[in-house]
A and B are shown apart, each in its own frame.
Chain A
Amino acid sequence: MSTKPFNAFAMAQAQFDKVAETLGLDQGTKDLLRNPMREYHFSLPVRMDDGTTKVFQGYRVQHNDARGPAKGGIRFHPQETADTVRALSMWMTWKCAVAELPLGGGKGGVICEPHNLSMAEQERICRAFVRQIARDVGPLRDVPAPDVMTSGQHMLWMLDEYEQIRGGHYPGVITGKPVGMGGSLGRTEATGYGVVFTVREALKELGVRPHDTIAAVQGFGNVAQYAIELYNQLGGAVVAVSCWDQEDQQPYTFRKNDGIDLAELRKITDRFGGINKQKAAELGYEQLPGEAWIEQDVDILFPCALENSITADNVSKISKRVKLIAEGANGPTTPDADHVLHERGVFVIPDFLANAGGVTCSYLEQVQSNMNYFWEKDEVLGKLDVMMTSAFIGVSDMARKRKLYMRDAAYTIAIARVAQACKDRGWV
């Protein structure tokens, strides 16, 4: 066991170094990309409800903006550190690049615990944050978004403060805004649909028709439900979904061998994707243990719920029939399990490609905001389809050409694109 403590930034750098080696990047490019280009650290004096003043520490890191304005969330977290923000901003650079978005990567945060703050105090933190960073963010420079413990409400306060300072309307300075206040339609569907756009393309490559496939899904939240919706439209049938049972504090898998009926299940599902087990039984669903989704004899697995769901322990339970795994969740596969899947030749669409629908939709929100003209949902989803398809093809071409595992191909192409942009600009 290593005695060196876990450090997210060190880990992100190590990951980069590995890929940089395979790409043969020169030292200058490596030095540029393994560290953020710009960092802002500032103190935020905030008047508290009781009249006292408390000073909070805020950060904004712009890792790289060679491909376009930096993009990334603002987190409110009591244990925020500069290293965490650095690591996350670097990951944003790669994420935008793999999705072929004309955006760079950034991240911000404030060390604070929202559970100890009133909404009024949080509003004052948001406004103080913007007062510090207003000169260095903007629709053409750096576009923040909601993240851990920040919501659309925080974004609107920040937007308002920015516009007060700039004396004009700049809805494109921030994304994640509510619909009607500069938000985009299609946001709810974007991630789930995005997963299936990539699945559709992957099936084409595998030479399998979607309506000849069946699938099992982990989770029945937003991502899973929209993924199932689109997958059904393509002709595929989902035979099992797992979900968390709040009452029993454990997950269950619900199975129907001739395919679940999405509309029917949605009616008996709560806001958090919890399926009512009594009603499911009445509708003829078989109730199995939570882990059972992974053992189903299906063609496709959609892990759309939790981190570390596919592990060294259960990877062997995956049916031989499974050809494709689409990672709708963040980090659903542990490295040991990933290794096994790679060896077995299962086609894995890695998380940061499969679930890039979310960030792509943020980009589309920014575009609409910048022209102050908002599209119908179909138009948003149509553009999403085009962009996701193109992103998938980029990665899979790279994988095929360089005989790479999809996950490695995705990293490689992302870093290569950013490196190329830096070179083209003459930075390195």
Chain B
Amino acid sequence: MTEQNDRVTDILRSLQERAKELNCLYRIEEIINAEDLTLDDVFRGVIDAIPPGWQYPDICVARIQFGDQGFAFGDFRETEWMQEAIIRVYGEPVGALEVAYLEQMPQADEGPFLKEERKLLETIAERIGSCITHRRLLETMQSMQESEHTSRRAGREWSAILDLLRRTDQSLLMRVSRKMINHLCWSGVKAARRLLQDFRPHQTSDEPEVFFESNQPRGKDMPPSATALADRVFELAGEHLSDDEIISCVHNWIKQDRASFLVNTLENYHTAISEVSDAIQRYQHAGHGEVELSPSTRKGLLVSLVRRFLSDQLEYINVAKRYVEIADFHQLIQRLIYPAHGHGKTGGKGAGLFLACQIVQRHRDENELLAEIKTPKTWYLTSDGMHDFVYCNHLEDVFSQKYKEIDEVRQEYPDIVQVFKNSQFSATIVKGLSLALDDLGDKPLIVRSSSLLEDRFGAAFSGKYKSLFLANRGTKQERMDALMDAIAEVYASTFGPDPIQYRTERNLVDFQEGMGVLIQEVVGTQIGDYFLPAFAGVAFSHNEFRWSPRIKQEDGLARLVPGLGTRAVDRLGDDFPILVSPGQPGLRANATPEEVVRYAPRYMDVINLNTNKFETVDVAEFLRQVGDQMPAVEQLVSVYADGNLRQPLLGSVDFERDDPVVTFEGLLNRTPFVKQIGALLNLLERELSHPADIEFASDGKDLYLLQCRAQAPAKHAKPAPIPRDIAYSRLLFSATRYVSNGTTPNITHVVYVDPEKYGQLGSREELISVGRAVGKLNKLLPKRQFILMGPGRWGSRGDIKLGVPVTYSDINNTAMLIEIARKTGDYTPDVSFGTHFFQDLVEAEIRYLPLYPDEDGIAFNEAFFTRSPNLLAELAPEFESLGDTIRVIDVPRSADGQVLYVLMNADLDEAVAVLTDPAGQAEHDDASGQAVATTDGQDWRWRTRMAESVAARLDRKRFGVKALYLFGSTKNATAGPASDIDLLVHFVGTDQQRHALEQWFEGWSLSLSEINYLRTGYRTESLLDVHIVTDEDIANRTSYAVKIGAITDAARELLLGNSTPPAK
């Protein structure tokens, strides 16, 4: 019992000591900050305040020695039991603070003193030092101001300031003098140069070039004594400069000097974020206004800060330095989490958002709509947080993951995720995250990856790493656990197979990955069990998908969805966001109520607060249940009744009985939203000097900016370089109107509906059968490797004479839809921009291009289209009679093995279709020189190799096989990671053999499928698609047998293992 009591007493005593120390420190702060006290009073007060903070106040005395003065408490005398701390001003010792016990006391950490008391003493000494500095500057300033008032009368009053400095702060005097020499030199005062040389004895004016050319180290200049330098410099200044100029220079330099500690901290590359952060805090707390800095110093400071915290990309810095203030960084570090001794940055997303916010802030007066744009509360975890995490848990091996084979990476990834999720964060980070959670409250959060690669290589890296939504519900501990779990998962995603493969392909694998993390509150409101924004979306300042010739590229594009913006970011294929062009808000992609309803969003993403999960819900069902609670719902939906769409008035929708459709008509027509987004896009594009790409969300009241980056075109939607020296024979057509950006590569087939012949068809049935033939060809030709070219308007539902009547399913495999507008008389018909299925085309990334062959300067190789061999009769014999109208051209066959590339450049408004060797594709792939989509090649090569292995091991006699053929995508070198291998077996055996053969293939198929999964991550049930044909089939040319010796796309025979074929 007593032992326990003793321990309790110990703890209590220790706590009491800490309390005393704190009280002491508070008291001293009070005294120091009392500006009306003289320095002497301050010293006396401090001396009084010290003893109560020490363990044995009754016998404790203190003394301050400063200059020739000594201030002591009580009857200070030097004893055996003393401790001392040096008081420094600008790093120079100016005095000492001493504490002594008058009697011997029990031994503690440092004699009778506690280690806490040592710390306390140092702190007090430092505070006294800064107090002295502060007061000196104040005095200097006051005397300078006084001298300014009297300078005109009193002539050389500035010399009084110098006197003052000489007495109070020689190091400052020296810095000011050096600046004055430089100033005089730059002002062209020759004597100043001589003076400078006097102080630099190793350099003479006769041989200045030696400085640049000599390989010898230069001798170090010995600094002259401060007063001597000052006297000579200012004597010279007095001769050459006016009194006013000298006063104002000295005045400014003294002011600027006050921020020097921040400059020094930042210029030293070794200072950790924590020190930089302290320096910024100190700078900010000291109440320095930035006006006190010279423009160049200020700019230098800002650039250092930008480089430190945000990005070292020159383009970024260039813009950022115009927009950020030191105070902004002060705010940033309030919400910055970083490891101890860290040097990290916020990462690409963090930097993009930060800069965009500053730009919007600075222009809020320009447009009141901009002033209303908000950003959600965001905390930043710096990029080296991931390294800290890895080292902290001894996971260093993970960094070599990227050098492993991709199948190994894929196999190990799930374990990495688990290991990461079960690892600990360092105490500093945990503390930071805890603070963040306290600040963010219990609103749902999104944990966004913010990678350094994203920063460097733009949007190409977006979506490669994880972003996770958190419901953020439960106790603090539960919320912390969920948050750390999510961050660990984001970290782990750096080592996932997809990003690694992507980096390998682009030679970025050696770039040291740093992963910043943004912890952002999710914009939205709670509705029932769900949390969601009223709407969200993405917007681009350049519109690459124009549905009308009246829309220009710079009119921009916004993709809007109800709920979380995830569905607007990704192309969905089966669901549609609402498209609006802020520069032309009246022109909608969908004109009729049927189209509007057909292309309305049907699903939305939400956070389920009950299950803590991210979910996709049916919009109609959601609205039926809780539509009433949805904020601003009347702006989001129109009511569909009897084929009409009505914009509802406030509260007029009956969600149980009406049929609400998400159209955003109210939002687009009756609120300033479109103008707001337009203004934002224009501003960002103008200030970033680059098209901008933003994400936004609204809770129904305010618009929030969530992300901003430079708009980078999607894959195959980059502006293609247009070659100028194409031989006429290689050019199939060119276009100069309504061109979008992109490259349609590797086209092997063209379906050409001859406009003139189509126009001459005599009956409606014939016109309709052209549409059906196209639908058939769409299913037969290799997906995304053929283009459709036809008159006027594809999918025309009115007068079908002017456009082939097709639905989207008849054309959904084409790579490109081309509408040819031929002049008839004086009249060139309209093209449709694919309006009938515009949104389908956009979501499926099918390109659209109108051609005007009869305009001046346009190339159109009509002979190629009308004279190349026509495969229609072979592919679709039932449509043979339409052979004049529909021409199916096998490009490699008609062009000596070349394939077709369509290169489009919206910036030039030019497009060309050129014949190119399939091998020469890389030259057109990517303007930036990074090879793209090289995986395609790997996939078919691997498949071919595997097919050959299978063939080599196939025992003809055992299975009764006469021949084995390869066809389809593997043979055509178009196989992708999810393709199967099409094999055709010419079989002559018995039923038993056939059964055995099928089993043998099944084994191969399963094994290959597994290997393919490890290579690519694509799961397929089986990889081999084996078709067995008999002699009879071949004779009758039934089913797949037609592939053997076919005219187009014939199957390729594979070499079998043992060479003698089995007897029939």
Contact = CB atoms under 8 A, between A and B. Distances in A.
Contact of B586 (A84, A118, A246, A308): A118
A6 B762 contact: yes
Max chain B Cβ within 10 angstroms of own Cβ: one of A1, A81, A178, A335: A1
Contacts, number: 129
A120 B586 CA distance: 8
Interface stretch (A145-153, A162-170, A414-422): A145-153
Contacts of A272: 597-598
A285 to B, nearest CB: 20
Contacts of B492: none
A79 B768 contact: no
B881 A1 contact: yes
Contacts of B797: 148
A183 B640 CA distance: 15
Interface string A1-21: 111111110010000000000
Contact of B801 (A6, A152, A246): A6
Given A5-B761, A6-B767, A49-B586, 10 more contacts: A1-B766, A2-B760, A6-B766, A11-B764, A79-B830, A115-B590, A151-B592, A178-B644, A247-B574, A271-B640
Nearest to B792: A79
24 contacts: A2-B762, A2-B763, A4-B762, A5-B759, A5-B760, A6-B764, A78-B830, A78-B832, A79-B798, A80-B798, A80-B799, A115-B587, A115-B589, A116-B549, A118-B584, A118-B586, A119-B586, A149-B591, A152-B593, A152-B642, A187-B642, A188-B642, A249-B808, A249-B809
B829 interface: yes
Contacts of B796: 79
Contacts of A187: 642
A179 interface: yes
A334 interface: yes
B642 A246 contact: no
B646 interface: yes
Contacts of B812: 249
A113 B829 CA distance: 12
A8 B549 contact: no
B835 A115 contact: yes
Nearest to B881: A1
A250 B659 CA distance: 26
Nearest to B548: A116
A75 B574 contact: no
A397 interface: no
Given A2-B763, A79-B796, A179 B592 contact: no
Interface string A80-91: 110010000000
Given A116-B549, A148-B797, A179-B642, A334 B762 contact: no
A283 interface: no
Contacts of A277: none
Contact of A79 (B592, B767, B829): B829
Interface string A357-387: 0000000000000000000000000000000
Interface in B641-693: 641-646, 659, 661
B765 A335 contact: yes
B766 A116 contact: no
A114 interface: yes
Nearest to B586: A118
Interface string B756-778: 00011111111110001000000
Nearest to A250: B809
Interface of B: 547-550, 574, 584-593, 597-598, 602, 640-646, 659, 661, 759-768, 772, 792-793, 796-799, 801-803, 808-809, 812, 829-830, 832-833, 835, 838, 878, 881, 884
A335 B764 CA distance: 11
A297 to B, nearest CB: 27
A308 B768 contact: yes
Nearest to A179: B642
Contacts of A81: 799
A355 B707 CA distance: 54
A117 B645 CA distance: 18
Contacts of B830: 78-79, 113
A75 B796 CA distance: 14
Interface string A272-309: 10000000000000000000000000000000000110
A77 interface: yes
A156 B763 CA distance: 37
| Size bracket of the A interface | 35 or more
A115 B548 contact: yes
A115 B574 contact: no
A121 interface: yes
Contacts of A308: 765, 768, 772
A183 B550 CA distance: 35
A4 B760 contact: yes
Contacts of B644: 151-153, 178
Nearest to B885: A1
Contacts of A247: 574
Contacts of B641: 178-179
B762 A115 contact: no
A167 B591 CA distance: 31
Contacts of A307: 768
Contacts of B645: 151, 153
Contacts of B760: 2-5
Q: Lowest 3 CB-CB distances: which A-B pairs, in order?
A: A118-B586, A2-B762, A152-B644
B659 A271 contact: yes
Interface string A316-355: 0000000000000000001100000000000000000000
B772 to A, nearest CB: 8
Contacts of B597: 271-272
Nearest to A306: B807
A148 B797 CA distance: 9
B799 A77 contact: yes
B838 to A, nearest CB: 8
Contacts of B802: 79
Interface in A90-136: 113-121
Max chain B Cβ within 10 angstroms of own Cβ: one of A3, A152, A188, A247: A152
Contact of B587 (A79, A116, A149): A116
B762 A3 contact: yes
Given A79-B793, A116-B550, A151-B593, A178 B762 contact: no
B826 to A, nearest CB: 15
A149 B762 contact: no
Contact of A152 (B643, B767, B832): B643
A248 B127 CA distance: 75
B809 A77 contact: no
Contacts of B598: 272
B646 A178 contact: yes
Contact of A5 (B547, B591, B801, B835): B801
Nearest to A181: B644
Contact of A148 (B646, B798, B803): B798
A115 B833 contact: yes
A2 B762 CA distance: 5
A11 B590 CA distance: 32
A246 B574 contact: yes
Nearest to A336: B765
A149 B592 contact: yes
B526 to A, nearest CB: 28
A226 to B, nearest CB: 13
Given A78-B830, A115-B833, A271-B597, A334 B548 contact: no
A77 B761 contact: no
Nearest to B593: A151
A6 B761 contact: yes
A165 to B, nearest CB: 24
Nearest to A121: B586
Interface string A174-215: 000011000100011000000000000000000000000000
B591 to A, nearest CB: 4
A120 B665 CA distance: 13
Contacts of B659: 271
A307 B547 CA distance: 27
A49 to B, nearest CB: 6
